[in-house]
Amino acid sequence: METKWLEDFVSLAETRSFSRSAQLRHVTQPAFSRRIQALEAWAGTDLVDRSSYPTRLTPAGETLYGQSLEMLQALQSTRAMLRGHTSAGQDVIEFAVPHTLAFTFFPAWLSSLRDKFGPIKSRLIALNVHDAVVRLVEGGCDLLIAYHHPSLPFQLDADRYEMVSLGEEVIAPYCRPDAQGQPLFQLPGQVGQPLPYLGYAPGAYLGQVVDFMLKQASTPIHLDRVYETDIAEGLKAMALEGHGLAFLPHSAARNEVQAGKLVSAAPAGLPGMQITMDVRAYREKPAVRETHKGGAHRGATMPKRTAQALWDYLREQAPLQ
């Protein structure tokens, strides 16, 4: 039996909806249903009455719900005590960060933070966006740092998580220049002569944002996807070798643009070829919230002192929302 099954079950007991809980737990609905079924197989009895709508628990499910709250709270408390055995661990802030931000935004942001906030010990956990969010949901990090765009919002429960904006990032097309400093590949391309396109792999968050931008473009864009990968640094390396154009965060391309190794692949007269996203930090709220039944929900562990001090600082410095 896995503890995440209990997390899933508690969510289902509170939302009474498989689809809503799947969103909150950041899994597909079929995967969420399989995990509930796995918990029922472990328990040896039905926990959910599937003959009713909205979803309700069986008597056995009601019993497990109460026990799950106690078990999860005990595990959280035990984890906090274990981490408290090492004072060094209390000083280290654990960040879950998607790969692209880990390469581009995070190093410069951390340098600025040390200059203004003071010395900070950090541990970076680089993941894809989905796994980084799951890391936060399952209590495996102090802060999640991720991109945000209104077209692709995270389905994080506002009652349980809070957010602060760290700034903005611009995504735009870049390519290698020719001998005269002009772009080797210039948008929008032509019918029958599409431009070689270095794209993000299916499911990548930045890829979905770029796809949204291209669909909204007022001018038809003609691209031929010749390469794809999950992270912007991989696309930049291919663009530097002249394999095609890539949509990159400004922070990833800035140094190469200044050195003349990359140039914009969009002419000034072509509108809509860049998109601005927020860079946000998320954390689980430290307060224990109440369930709809009036009982104490499995509470978030209290944040580390250094993590709380950093969060307070970030809130003070955050741009106006």
The answer to whether the pTM exceeds 0.75 is: no
| pLDDT at residue 83 in the model | 62
- Supply 151's token pair: 């077209």
Residue 173 contacts residue 247 (beta carbons within 8 Å)? yes
Residue 176 contacts residue 160 (beta carbons within 8 Å)? no
Amino acid present at 303 = P
Q: For the packed helices 59-84 and 3-15, what is the interaxial angle rounded to 10 degrees?
A: 130
| pLDDT at residue 281 in the model | 95
Best mean pLDDT range from 51-60, 195-204, 298-307? 195-204
Over the chain, what is the mean pLDDT? 85
73 pLDDT above the threshold of 50: yes
Burial (0-12, 13-18, 19+ Cβ within 10 Å), 278: middle
**Which of 2-11, 46-55, 64-73 shows the lowest per-residue confidence on average (mean pLDDT)?**
46-55
**Which of 33-47, 188-202, 204-218, 278-292 shows the lowest per-residue confidence on average (mean pLDDT)?**
278-292
241 pLDDT above the threshold of 90: yes
Question: Tens of pLDDT along 9-59?
Answer: 998 988 888 888 888 887 888 888 889 999 999 998 999 887 766 788 999
Long-range contacts of 309-312 (CB under 8 A, 24+ apart): 310/93, 310/113, 310/117, 310/120, 310/143, 311/143, 311/164, 311/281, 311/283
Number of residues that this document lists for the chain: 321
90 pLDDT above the threshold of 70: no
Angstrom distances, CA of residue 280 to CA of 95, 97, 148, 149, 319: 12, 11, 7, 10, 11
| pLDDT at residue 159 in the model | 81
